Amino acid sequence: MAADERSHARFITRMQNTDDPTGIRTAERWHRGDRSGALRAAVCGVNDGGVSNTSLVMGFAGSGAASTAIAFAGLAGLLAGAFSMAAGEYISMRSQREAYEREITLEAMELRDDPEAEAEELALIYRANGLAPA
């Protein structure tokens, strides 16, 4: 933690001495929480069972199995895909929530340890988003 705080202090000092305050999002790793949407989409995409279920039904149909066996295989594949996607979505949302909770915890610790620096950091973030220093 001490090394992180020293790094944080150096960064704030550098930010005070420059007119380009946009580096805040790259200097502190936990300010980069915007990647969770891509992770969520990847988890859902991997768990997508549409192609798998179609392949399963086509395989059964190509084997010459009875139509009831093909229908049951399709239904089983459909249910398995639905449960898999539901579990994947749950895990994805839980992971996203945990990432946000971690970010909130880190910021709360910084607020507790050095509220003045955090207020200054917040002002710099607002400046990076286009607000005038005044």
Give CB contacts under 8 A, 24+ apart, made by 59-64: none
DSSP 3-state assignment of 32? coil
| 12-18: average pLDDT | 62
Q: Kindly state the percentage of the chain with pLDDT values over 70.
A: 65
Neighbours of 126 (CB within 10 A): 13
pLDDT of 14 strictly over 90: no
Mean pLDDT, rounded, for 22-32: 54
Name residue 101's amino acid: E
Rounded Cα–Cα distance for residues 116 and 33 (Å): 24
The DSSP H or E segment spanning 84 is helix 67-113
pLDDT tens figures, 62-102: 998 899 999 999 899 888 887 887 888 889 889 989 999 99
